[in-house]
Amino acid sequence: MSLFKSRSTESSKPKKLWKITRQCLELIFESAKSSFPNEFGGLLRRSDLLDDTISELVLLPGTVGGDRHAIFRMHMKPIDYSIVGTVHSHPSTNFSPSDADRQMFARYGKINIIAAYPYTMNSWRAYDGAGNLIELIVVD
């Protein structure tokens, strides 16, 4: 088990510790690589409602990826309370969220991942719904 730590701008209230499986994270990287030079987008699903481990990538029908955007067809999102957030790629080395990213984070999730080129364990970050960097533990 490895720990990815990032600074958070949140107050000192107790934080939920989220995890993601290495297999899910590697699938995100491979999906981003296969969409390059366009952005890739999907949703994050946790193992079950009582667990805080993200283990699945959900692809929405009709998602469009361009060189500077990923358009999600949220009306295609299933009614599924185990979906906890979004993931998308940036075809550059910048993994900072844009204003549009922050708007999406606020509407669609507790956990949001941006994977940046070259889509490796060193080129991604996780954010909360307000766009603050958060900690996400990678588990095997």
pLDDT in tens, 96-133: 999 988 988 998 879 999 999 999 999 999 999 999 99
Q: Is residue 25 part of a domain?
A: yes
Domain that holds residue 73: 18-139
CATH number, domain of 83, equals 3.40.140.10
The burial of 60, by beta-carbon neighbours within 10 Å (0-12 exposed, 13-18 middle, 19 or more buried), is given as middle
Helix intervals (H) in the chain: 22-35, 99-108
Contact of 7 with 125, CB cutoff 8 Å: no
**Domain count along the chain:** 1
pLDDT in tens, 18-75: 999 999 999 999 999 988 998 888 999 998 888 899 999 888 754 555 455 566 555 4
Measure the CA–CA gap between 54 and 43, rounded to whole angstroms: 10
Q: Is residue 4 part of a domain?
A: no
Rounded to a whole number, what is the distance in angstroms from the first to the last CA of the chain?
6
CB under 8 Å to 128, separation ≥6 — which residues? Answer: 10, 105, 110, 111, 112, 134
pLDDT in tens, 70-102: 665 554 566 778 889 999 999 999 999 999 889
Measure the CA–CA gap between 123 and 34, rounded to whole angstroms: 16
Q: Is residue 71 part of a domain?
A: yes
Q: Is residue 9 part of a domain?
A: no
User: So what's the pLDDT on residue 15?
Assistant: 67
Q: Is residue 67 part of a domain?
A: yes
Q: Is residue 130 part of a domain?
A: yes
Cα angle value 139/97/40 (rounded, 5°): 65
pTM as predicted:
0.81
